[in-house]
Amino acid sequence: MRAVVQRVREATVRVGDEEVARMREGLLALVGVAADDTSDDAAQLARKLVGLRVFPDRDGRMNHALADTGGTLGVVSQFTLLGDARQGRRPSYQNAAPADRAAPLVEAVVEAAREAGVPVVTGRFQASMEVALVNEGPVTILLDTRRLF
């Protein structure tokens, strides 16, 4: 699984005219599922998201995680993170999991984070979404459970 994670002051997710998620301070994770990802990848990503120390302590050093700050985790599915644009100009998405495999794995990330005591908001799977955020820092981290980067 891959994720682009941003430390945010606030974020919203809209589908058409409907606001489906709103959060204050926390982490917003855009999550992509690879065709060969498993529930182990989902658990690993959830642990990493919950424990990622990117929030400042009293000295301004990034030493705190979501659980320390009371922040929210936003999870938005994004299959385009598995796009491969190494050849040509049109990305290939052949490495992305089909929706029927990806949806349960994204939900597994959400549930594992909730079980860890972190409040979670989500986008809507397979919907065309508008994601608005205020990146704080800015802090942006790339994660990959296969450690490709």
| 3-state SS track over 125-136 | CCCCCEEEEEEE
Catalytic residue chosen out of the listed positions 6, 78, 122, 145: 78
Q: Which of 6, 55, 72, 79 is catalytic?
A: 79
Whether 79 is catalytic is yes
pLDDT tens by residue, 72-110: 999 999 999 999 999 999 999 999 999 999 999 999 999
Percent of the chain exceeding pLDDT 70 equals 100
Give the pTM.
0.95
For each of the domains in the chain, give its residue range(s) and CATH number, in order of start.
2-144 (3.50.80.10)
DSSP 47-97: HHHHH---EE-TTS-EEE-HHHHT-EEEEEE-GGGG-B-SSSSS-B-TTBP
Does residue 80 carry a catalytic annotation? yes
- Residue from 109, 111, 124 nearest 12 by CA: 124
pLDDT in tens, 30-59: 999 999 999 999 999 999 999 999 999 999
